[in-house]
Amino acid sequence: MRLRGAVAVVTGASSGIGTATALRLHQAGARLVLHGRDTARLTALAERTGGRVVTGDLADVAGIPALAEEIRSRFGTVDVLVNNAGVGWAGRFGEMTAQDVRRVVDVNLTAPVELTRALLPDLLDRPAASVVFVTSIAGRTAVAGEALYSAVKAGLDVFAESLRFELAASAVDIGVVVPGVVDTEFFARRGKPYERRSPRPISALRVADAVVRVAAGGRAEQYVPRWLRWPVLVRGMVPGVYRLLATRFGGSG
């Protein structure tokens, strides 16, 4: 689809991959709807991109219908939805509180599902539209110390794939971007910094470039970096070997 002039909603736009994606979409000529919790950062980004700010916390899933209605009433239409917002949690699963569990599930899985559902009639009404889900390699391979985060990202992956099949005859493309370790504030916010020597973190702009490619080109998925598809293939072809290696080397990042 043509991104120039398209109305693109980006969740989690106040930092990291979301900010980088907004900048790349702006360069492609899209009209931006910038969603996030940090009003000051969103306002600064809006000044750089000409975007419009819609603030809110996606952990409040009950407020998503009102969010969709605000977007609809203020902008009239939606051509691109980038479900990027996410929250992490690092540590042993048994140490999570019920509140921790609820927030990780709601922000990473329930919110993108509900926002997609709320905006889908608008997307289906366009001559061409796209929905992009930013997932994680953790959802493809599993990661010790991030059991719940891995699970919800895997769920988002399967939701996106199923929705792609369901909408195959429509003009709405569904795509997934699967990043590895990205140099953002995510790790500090999850409660544990990234301490492994490899793989080395990549820039958020590399992930943003993949998001734009998927949104514009109708691609089903993009790994960032591309070599991440290999551990996924190993897991699928020789799961026993993969589990042995992951148990020995695949601890929490």
- 104-128 pLDDT, tens digit each: 999 999 999 999 999 999 999 999 9
Lowest mean pLDDT among 39-43, 170-174, 225-229: 225-229
Q: What is the pLDDT of residues 35-55, one digit of tens each?
A: 999 999 999 999 999 999 999
DSSP letter, residue 110: I
**pLDDT score of 78 more than 60:** yes
Question: Is residue 132 one of the residues assigned to a domain?
Answer: yes
Tell me which residues are annotated as active site.
Answer: 149
- Asked, for residue 247, whether it belongs to a domain, the answer is no
Domain count, the chain: 1
Domain for residue 1, yes or no? no
65 found inside a domain: yes
In a domain, 183, yes or no: yes
Question: What burial letters (b/e) apply to 27-47, b meaning 16+ CB within 10 Å?
Answer: ebebbbbbbbeeeebbeebbe
Helices (H) and strands (E) in the chain, counts: 11, 7
Greater confidence, 212 or 228? 212
What's the CATH code of the domain at 180?
Answer: 3.40.50.720
Is 248 contained in some domain?
no
Instruction: Give the pair of three-digit tokens for residue 108.
Output: 């990473």
Taking the whole predicted model, whether its pTM rises above 0.85 is answered as yes
For the residues of 191-252, what is the DSSP string, one character each? TS----SSSPPBPHHHHHHHHHHHHHH--SEEEESGGGHHHHHHHHH-HHHHHHHHHHH---
The predicted structure's pLDDT at residue 13: 97
Tell whether the model's pLDDT for residue 252 goes beyond 60: no
Contact 107, 87 (CB under 8 A): yes
234, part of any domain: no
Between 145 and 34, where is the model more confident? 34
The answer to the question of residue 236 being in a domain is no
Tokens of 134: 């930013």
What is the span of the domain harbouring residue 148?
7-228
Between the CA of residue 60 and those of 8, 20, 53, 151, 190, what are the distances in Å? 22, 24, 18, 20, 19
